[in-house]
Structure 1
Amino acid sequence: MTPETEAILTALREARRLLLITTTDLKDDQLTERSTVSELTLGGILNHLTRAERVWTQILTDTTGRTPEGMWDTGQYLTPGGATVAGLRTPYEEAARATDEAAGRMRPEAEARLPETPWEPGVVRHWPARRILLHLLQETAQHTGHADIVREAIDGANSTARR
């Protein structure tokens, strides 16, 4: 693994750790609680970020440019029915490990073919692995902040107090 990749993954792991801290001691029924005017819930955030890890890992490792399953699924921000905290945290942690392993095998400048988007059919784009990892870091950090606000509004808990 290059020092650059290790540095990006270290920052990504910290963002993930803060998300998991925010969901520590969360009750299952709090997964679907909307505590702001937004539709975001803690379960929805965990579900979305698990899917993001899986989608970007597939893009990193699949040279065909196939669209990863569920990439454009509008339900990815929802808490799956019957979800439990452990049932959402465990797949998230597994997906994160898979991302780290895939990224560790790649050079930062290695190009990955992105799938076509519904809004630009036929347009082929390539991103270097570093850009994909930085995008995943940005996405994780952004939603970790959302989760912290949602959690604090639910029961006063936040990641700062739990560190």
Structure 2
Amino acid sequence: MTVNELTTSDSTEAPVVTGERADLLETLAKSRHFLRFTTRDLTDEQAGLRTTAGELCLGGLIKHVTSVERKWVDFILDGPSTMGDFTAMTEADWARRADEFRMLPGETLAGVLAEYADVARRTDDLVVALPDLEAAWPLPKAPWFESDMKWSARRVLMHIIAETAQHAGHADIIRESLDGAKSMG
């Protein structure tokens, strides 16, 4: 099932979202805002700078959150096969995954933010249209997941929110280290 199949209808009016789904969307929107806000007024070069002892940069964090959100939405729709088997990843696979955390030559902050916006719209459409937040799949094989665990769509959405909020905090530290700008305060 695709997001388009879930959200296509004869009505031209946007569906009214209330209750739990509205809460999930509002919480995710707030975390996304704070993550994106850390990149305000930056150049592409600044978005790719490491400002702490870690490997993270602002553009890379947004690329990572984009990738994670995309993969988890794929998981909600089509199950664990969309994420692969993390226990079988090669060094080359891990190196490609590490590229999510940095701005690569030719990448722009505007492009990274546009891709994030596209993924966010897809997720939001899914939250509105998904028939059942209890629908669950087994988790993919990974050393950080317990075997034989299942996550519902609701649990995956809470994970996306937590991941976004956590990285918004990382981004705030990186931005403050870059030029003293803060998200709050």
Alignment of 1:55-70 (within 5 A): 55-63=71-79, 65-68=80-83
Unaligned runs of at least 5 residues, structure 1: none
Query: Structure 1-normalised TM-score?
Result: 0.86
CA-to-partner distance for each residue in 1:58-98, whole Å, 9 max, x for gaps?
001114x31337x8623322222221110110000110111
Structure-2 residue corresponding to 1:109: 134
Structure-1 residue corresponding to 2:166: 142
Moved over 6 A (4+): none
C-alpha contact (below 8 Å) 1:32/1:42 kept by paired residues? yes
C-alpha contact (below 8 Å) 1:12/1:140 kept by paired residues? yes
Structure-1 residue corresponding to 2:155: 131
Structure-1 residue corresponding to 2:9: none
Distance in 1 (alpha carbons) for counterparts of 2:28 and 2:65 = 12
CA-to-partner distance for each residue in 1:107-135, whole Å, 9 max, x for gaps?
22121343222x38xx4532011110111
Cα RMSD, aligned residues only: 2.3
Residue identity over aligned pairs, in percent, reads: 40
Say yes or no: does 1:41 pair with 2:65: no
Structure-2 residue corresponding to 1:14: 30
C-alpha contact (below 8 Å) 1:36/1:150 kept by paired residues? yes
Task: For residue 82 of structure 2, give the secondary structure of its aligned residue in structure 1.
Answer: coil
Query: Structure 2-normalised TM-score?
Result: 0.77
Cα gap change, 1:85/1:137 in structure 2, threshold over 3 Å: closer, same or farther? Answer: same
Unaligned runs of at least 5 residues, structure 2: 1-16, 87-93
Distance in 2 (alpha carbons) for counterparts of 1:93 and 1:124 = 33
